[in-house]
Structure formats: C-alpha cells, structure tokens
C-alpha cells in the first residue's frame, strides 16, 4: 500500500506542477490553513481571553471583593505552592489517577464488547441496542445521577432491597457512601454506564469502516474469529482506539458532576477527586485565584498523563500524511 501509493501520488503532483500556474500552487499551500482557520477562529476567539484570564488570576489573590473590582493582588506562584504543599493534595491526585485508570479500562472494555456485538447481531436487535444506548446517552446527567442515587439510597434503595431479598446479606439501611471504596465503586458504575454509549457507538462506526474484503479474505485463509480481530480489525481501528482512550482519560480525570450530585453538593473529603477538590476548595469559597491555579495544575497533570497518547497520535499523524 505504502510505496506504490506514494509513487502514484508523486505522478499526480508532478503532473500538476508541470501543467499548472504558480497561483494554483500557492492556493494549494494555503488550503490547509484556510481549512483550519474558521475552527481556529472560533476556539481562539471565544476561549482565548478566558484562558488567558484564568492563567492571570492563578498568580493573584482573587476573592469576591477582587472579582467585583476586577483587580487582584499579584502573589506570583504562591497559589500553586499552597496547592502543591497541601497534605490533602497527594491523596487527591493518587485517588484521581487510580479512579481514571479503572474507569477508562472498564469503559473501553465494555464499549469494545458492545461494539463488536453490534456488528454481529441481527438488524432489529442492533436497532434496539443502539437506540437504548442513545437513550442512556441522551438522558440529562443530573436526573440520571439522581436515579442512581435513589437506587443506592440508604433506606429507599432498590439495590439494598434486592441484595437483602436475594440473600446476599443484610443490606437494610446499608450506607454505600460511608466507606469510600464502596462509594467510589458506585460512582464508577455510574460513570462507566454514562460513558459506554458514546464509546461503543463511535467504535462501532469505526468498525464499519473496516473493508469487508479484508475480513473475508482472512476468513477464507482459515483465520479464526479471534485472529481476524487481532490481525485485521485491530490494526485498522487502532488510531480510533487511541483517540477514544485519550478522550476517556481526559473526561474521567475531570469527573465532577457525578460525585457532586451523588453526594448532594456536600462531598466528604474522601471523595475529593481533583475536579471536586479544585471546585470545593476554591470557587465554592470564593477563592478564585486558588481555583484558577488548581485548574492549571489539573491540566498539567493531565498533560503529563496523556503524553503517551499525544505522542502516539502525533507520530501516527506524521506517518499517515506523508
């Protein structure tokens, strides 16, 4: 594919160079920039100033009074020092990373299973399952988390009732959130449940791109389903998988709503994922400078964590568009 393709590409472009005027060449060179320009304009135009302001405020002492007066007190990197030397911060980062790893792993695993299933089921079942997934996906987050909250409620929860009646044990008045390990298990279920639809449907869309001929050829050659999967399908959807992994990581690292709503906007310290910690210790108590610094720290950690994905993607991008 590679060499022959490049040769043909060479023929094509040489043909254009010989025949066309230089204006065409210049237009062609500008084309990539023209294509990204509108999107870049919107993103930079809308988010540029706010991001800049965020960075600026992170170096200031900026409470509510300063917000009203649009004027803070410059304190350099002190906000960052406060955060990084906070004894709780260590716990928060470790918990967030562990939480992210588990959630991304579970979400991607389930999404892959479901995507593969979607390929192999009959049409009515496919429509049923994908519509169900979309319904879950479309349900507004806050009412959905409230639903899960009820299901795990101390006295009204279906889960407690079911577990007791099936005979797993006495779960009457079992408080799922007293022990953070159990609490995080519940939060994980909610996050994975909410994440599956997009990942599964997008992965399924990617799987439909795998050329039928390649799969058929491999099967004719005698390959078993597992081998077809790993040798034919996987390499083709690999770039997409990397993207979904990276998106999952970014989103799961920033999980906020589920914890916040589940614990009625008053989460216990044990439940401070980094976004919750950042919000609670700063914005909620009107310490905007500290909050901005916490956001910057979050982005920094996330960037370090995703450096693998980013490098992979840049490498793939580079080798694809030669």
Chain residues 244-283 in contact with another protein, contact rule CB under 8 A: 246-247, 250, 254, 256, 264, 266, 268, 275, 278-280, 283
Half-sphere exposure of 318 (CA within 13 A, CB side): 6
> Binding of another protein at residue 97 (CB under 8 A)?
no
Using CB under 8 A as the binding rule, the residues of this chain from 51 to 70 that contact another protein are 51, 53-54, 57, 64-65, 67-70
CB of 242 to another protein, least distance (A): 8
CB of 253 to another protein, least distance (A): 8
d(Cα 137, Cα 48) in Å, to the nearest integer?
A: 30
Using CB under 8 A as the binding rule, the residues of this chain from 141 to 180 that contact another protein are 141-144, 146-148, 150-151, 153-156, 158, 161-162, 172-173, 175, 177-178
Sorted by sequence, the CB contacts under 8 Å of residue 298 that are 6+ apart come out as 253, 254, 274, 275, 278
> Binding of another protein at residue 209 (CB under 8 A)?
yes
Contacting another protein (CB under 8 A), which of 204, 271, 272, 277?
Answer: 204
CB of 109 to another protein, least distance (A): 13
CB atoms under 10 Å from CB of 23, counted, come to: 8
Nearer to another protein, 77 or 142 (CB): 142
252 Cα distance to chain centroid: 6
CB of 138 to another protein, least distance (A): 4
Q: Are strands 73-74 and 60-61 parallel, antiparallel or unpaired?
A: antiparallel
Contacting another protein (CB under 8 A), which of 24, 109, 135, 308?
Answer: 135
What is the token pair recorded at 199?
């990942």
Half-sphere exposure of 252 (CA within 13 A, CB side): 34
Q: Taking the CA atoms of the chain, what radius of gyration do you get in angstroms?
A: 25
Q: 274-281 and 288-305 are packed helices; what angle lies between their axes, rounded to 10 degrees? A: 170
Reported as type and span, the H/E element at residue 117 is helix 87-120
CB of 278 to another protein, least distance (A): 7
Q: Which of 282, 304, 284 is nearest to 293 (CA)?
A: 282
Taking CB under 8 A as the binding criterion, the range among 80-88, 95-103, 214-222, 288-296 that sits at the site for another protein is 288-296
Using CB under 8 A as the binding rule, the residues of this chain from 210 to 229 that contact another protein are 211-212
Asked if 239 contacts 168 with a C-beta cutoff of 8 angstroms, the reply is: no
Nearer to another protein, 88 or 154 (CB): 154
CB of 4 to another protein, least distance (A): 8
Asked if 249 contacts 104 with a C-beta cutoff of 8 angstroms, the reply is: yes
> Binding of another protein at residue 49 (CB under 8 A)?
yes
Taking CB under 8 A as the binding criterion, the range among 19-27, 84-92, 202-210, 216-224 that sits at the site for another protein is 202-210
């Amino acid at each position: 594919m590679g060499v022959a393709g490049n040769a043909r590409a060479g023929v094509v472009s040489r043909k254009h160079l010989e025949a066309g005027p230089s204006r065409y060449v210049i237009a062609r060179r500008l084309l990539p920039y023209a294509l990204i320009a509108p999107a870049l304009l919107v993103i930079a135009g809308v988010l540029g100033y706010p991001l800049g302001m965020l960075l600026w405020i992170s170096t200031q002492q900026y409470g509510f009074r300063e917000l009203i007066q649009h004027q803070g007190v410059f304190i350099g990197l002190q906000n960052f020092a406060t955060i990084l030397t906070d004894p709780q911060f260590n716990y928060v980062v470790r918990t967030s990373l562990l939480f992210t790893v588990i959630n991304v792993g579970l979400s991607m695993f389930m999404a892959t299973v479901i995507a593969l299933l979607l390929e192999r089921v009959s049409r009515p079942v496919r429509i049923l399952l994908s519509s169900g997934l979309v319904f879950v996906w479309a349900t507004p987050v806050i009412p959905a988390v409230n639903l899960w909250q009820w299901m795990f409620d101390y006295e009204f929860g279906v889960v407690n009732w079911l577990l007791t009646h099936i005979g797993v044990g006495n779960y009457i008045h079992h408080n799922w959130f007293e022990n953070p390990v159990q609490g995080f298990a519940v939060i994980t279920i909610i996050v994975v449940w909410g994440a599956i639809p997009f990942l599964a449907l997008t992965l399924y869309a990617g799987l439909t791109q795998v050329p039928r001929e390649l799969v058929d050829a491999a099967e004719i050659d005698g390959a078993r389903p597992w081998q077809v999967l790993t040798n034919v399908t996987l390499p083709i959807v690999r770039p997409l998988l990397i993207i979904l992994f990276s998106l999952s990581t970014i989103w799961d690292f920033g999980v906020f709503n589920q914890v916040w709503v589940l614990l009625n906007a008053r989460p216990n310290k044990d439940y401070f994922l980094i976004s919750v910690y950042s919000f609670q210790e700063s914005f909620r108590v009107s310490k905007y400078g500290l909050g901005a610094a916490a956001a910057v720290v979050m982005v920094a950690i996330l960037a370090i964590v995703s450096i693998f994905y980013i490098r992979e993607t840049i490498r793939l991008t580079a080798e694809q568009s030669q």
